[in-house]
Structure 1
Amino acid sequence: MNDEILDLVDDVAHRVQRAITSRDCPAIVAVDGRRKLVLSDYDYLRDRATAQAFERRAAEAAHTVHAVRWVFAVPMIWFESSAGISARAVSNDPLNEGEQESILWIAFDQADGIDYGRVPYTRRPNGEPIFGDTEIVTLNVSLDDQAPGRTLLRHFLEGDDHPAA
């Protein structure tokens, strides 16, 4: 990953961290092109239709500014399943064994392609989040259409001169 996309990942991850510290859990996307735009959606985790609508709006914004890179992040619960790594929406319920609260992110850069990662976090007994380091997922990532950021990626690539993902 180049420095510009790493900086954008850090920027978006820190924005989500500040929101989590304030007990919010928005999806946040930053698109960088002729200018930089940051969009957020506090209802993203409510249902799939709301999530897809936000991601489509983000893809439109990316095209509007002729984005060359963007980063999408959302807090989720990360866990291993028989299918590999999976995620579910955050909730006030206790974590199950093997689950980890994380900020999941997907990054697109015209020069470097697509990267996936997370920022894991734990909570102190009083609920205060303690964030880990940003991790780049190096596993062979295969996302279905339900995965966070997938609708954004598809709509961004289909509407541009990039090969479809």
Structure 2
Amino acid sequence: MNEATAHLLFDAVERMEKNIIAWACPAIVLLEGRDKLALNYYDYLRDVETAEEIENRAAEKALEIGAVRWVLAVPQVWLFKPPSTIAVRAVSNHPLREGEQEAITWMSFDREDGVDYGRVAYVRRPNQEPVFEDPEIFDVGIRPAESMPGFALLQRFLAEE
């Protein structure tokens, strides 16, 4: 990941952390091209169809500004299933179940460097204040499902470019 994309990622993560602290859960898309845009979508986690529609709208905006890089960040709950499967669900006010962890799932795209995936895991103190880890970039082979945050955005952006 180059420095410009890393800067965009840290900006997206910082914005998402502030929202999580405020008990808000939007998806955040940062786009950088001729202009810089920050888009917040509070209904992203409603269902798969809504998420796909939002990602398609974000792709249209990215194309409008000639985006050379973008980052999508989404708060989710991760469930680790042995031996090597990860499932995700929308965040909620319900307690986490065994094997679950809250995280910011993110995808970045840079025209020169390609695509990166990762997450920012976090835990909550007894008073519910979140404590965030540093962003983690997956450096192992990832096969994202069509429902992964950013999948539709990437497909639409690349198809239209």
What's the TM-score, normalizing by structure 2? 0.95
1:115 is aligned to 116
1:120 CA drift (Å) = 0.6
Instruction: Letter of the 2:30 partner, please give it.
Output: A
Q: Aligned-pair RMSD on alpha carbons?
A: 1.1
1:148 CA drift (Å) = 1.1
1:56 is aligned to 56
The CA deviation string for residues 45-89 of structure 1, in whole angstroms up to 9 with x for no partner, is: 111221111101100000000001000000001222256222111
Task: Determine whether 1:124 maps to 2:120.
Answer: no
Pairing of 1:5-154 with structure 2 (within 5 A): 5-82=5-82, 84-154=85-155
The CA deviation string for residues 12-54 of structure 1, in whole angstroms up to 9 with x for no partner, is: 0110100000000100000101111110101111112211111
1:111 CA drift (Å) = 0.7
Please list every run of 5 or more consecutive structure 1 residues that lacks an aligned counterpart in the other structure.
161-165
1:163 is aligned to none
1:139 CA drift (Å) = 2.2
Q: Distance in 1 between matches of 2:98 and 2:140?
A: 22
**Structure 2 residue matching 1:93: 3-state secondary structure:** coil
The CA deviation string for residues 98-145 of structure 1, in whole angstroms up to 9 with x for no partner, is: 211000000000110000011111111111111111110122111121
Q: Distance in 1 between matches of 2:41 and 2:55?
A: 10
**Structure 2 residue matching 1:97: 3-state secondary structure:** coil
**Displaced runs of 4+ in structure 1, greater than 3 A?**
none
Percent identity over the alignment?
Answer: 50
Instruction: Letter of the 1:58 partner, please give it.
Output: A
Q: Distance in 1 between matches of 2:19 and 2:60?
A: 24
Please list every run of 5 or more consecutive structure 2 residues that lacks an aligned counterpart in the other structure.
none
**Structure 2 residue matching 1:62: 3-state secondary structure:** helix
**Structure 2 residue matching 1:157: 3-state secondary structure:** helix
Number of residue pairs matched by the alignment = 160
**Structure 1 residue matching 2:107: 3-state secondary structure:** strand
Q: Distance in 1 between matches of 2:136 and 2:38?
A: 22
Q: Distance in 2 between matches of 1:78 and 1:137?
A: 15
What's the TM-score, normalizing by structure 1? 0.93
